[in-house]
Amino acid sequence: MPQYIAGLHLSPTQQVEAIVGIATVAWLWDTGKYFSSYSLDKIKGALRKADSEGGRIIAMPSAWLAQAVATIHWTATAAPAVIHVALLAMNGMEKPPGYAAMDLPPVESLHKWGETPVDAMNNVRAAAGVGILLSFFVQQWILNTLGKQFHFIGPREKAQIVSDGPYAYVRHPLYSLLTAQAVLCIFAYWNWLPVYSLIILLFSFWYKIPIEEQLILDDQSVGKAYAEYKTKVRYRIIPGIW
């Protein structure tokens, strides 16, 4: 049954779309006082701080694709979110027919999360939206741990091996988080677009990580330490798998 929220007449599905939309906007643009973290603007600030404290990047891959891959995976991450929010905002918090046609098929195993299949999917999607918000805290933890060594690819002048916090579990926790956020977007939007985004992300990481790690291994100041770190932390993104 439709309900009024903040003066708006919204159906249960529209309420879920509102939750997911708010989570997405907060994720992309750092709106929301209590969930602020390193979004697009703060990532730029973290880079500036890292440049001033850790020195400039001293090595970058020569291939243009290797240099562009960071832009590719960040674009792949943001594009489904921007498209989703824009289409719903222009269509009264409902998916327009063309976009709804790209919805994922029903999954019966998820129907236990509500009294009806529609209620169950609304609950799953709302929970995924909350998960997107909570991921901000993990993102801040990762970037705070990385500190002055933060960059998308390449070692800095004052290079140091970061092996504590999330880096004690995987070698690239920021990529782990981006992967998890892409999965959350799949459940939150229940659409094929974030599935395609996840595929692009994984291929980008598959291509980028060996190049990034080789640049560190080739650095005379930290190469040996990083080789030892790799023997201790075996997995790149997903513990026990990859």
| pLDDT band at residue 237 under the 50/70/90 scheme | very high
Within a domain: residue 48?
A: yes
- Are 175 and 237 in contact by the 8 Å Cβ rule? The answer is yes
Whether 241 is covered by a domain: the verdict is no
Domain contains 179 = yes
Q: Which domain holds residue 90?
A: 3-232
For 7-20, what is the mean pLDDT? 76
Helices first, then strands: H and E counts in the chain = 8, 2
Residue 237 lies in a domain: no
Residue 53 lies in a domain: yes
What's the average model confidence in pLDDT over 82-91?
Answer: 89
Question: How far is it, in rounded angstroms, from Cα 58 to Cα 157?
Answer: 6
Q: What average pLDDT does the segment 225-231 reach?
A: 90
CATH code where residue 227 lies: 1.20.120.1630
Asked if residue 118 belongs to a domain, the reply is yes
What is the pLDDT averaged over residues 107-120?
85
Cβ neighbours of residue 125 closer than 8 Å, sequence gap 6 or more: 16, 20, 187, 188, 189, 190
- Tens-digit pLDDT profile for residues 131-163: 998 888 888 888 788 765 555 455 555 567 788
For the chain, the domain total comes to 1
